Amino acid sequence: MRESTDRALLLAQHLLSENRIGGRSWREIALKDYHDRVHFVTLNRIALSNGKWLPKDRKTLRALGLVEPKPRTEIQKAISRMVRQTNKDVLANRKDGNHK
């Protein structure tokens, strides 16, 4: 995952405008815009630092739209398929009574 400083600055500007011009409280922004996945104090701190301070928690950064997950490689996809198939085979053997 990678962070974007440009996005952080735009987010900070948006949050400040929502708070100061729009007259919305930080709690209201956190609840309605981020469905309470981001704490209102976190939004306040990001906005007042102009996006220079960011939380370290990846889930919070993802909820804010500041990081993107790395795309899965073909090897990772192949491993996932093999694990799923193995699990299906094990469950099928248990149902048939062929387990050891």
With vertex at residue 44, the alpha carbon angle to CA 15 and CA 42, rounded to the nearest 5 degrees, is 110
Give the bridge partners for 67, in sequence order.
3
| Token code pair at residue 45 | 């701190």
pTM of the predicted structure, to 2 decimals = 0.66
pLDDT tens digits along 23-75: 999 999 999 999 989 999 999 999 999 999 999 998 999 999 998 777 778 88
> Residues, the chain, total?
100
Domain residues of the chain, as ranges?
2-68, 72-100
**What pLDDT is stored for residue 68 in this prediction?**
78
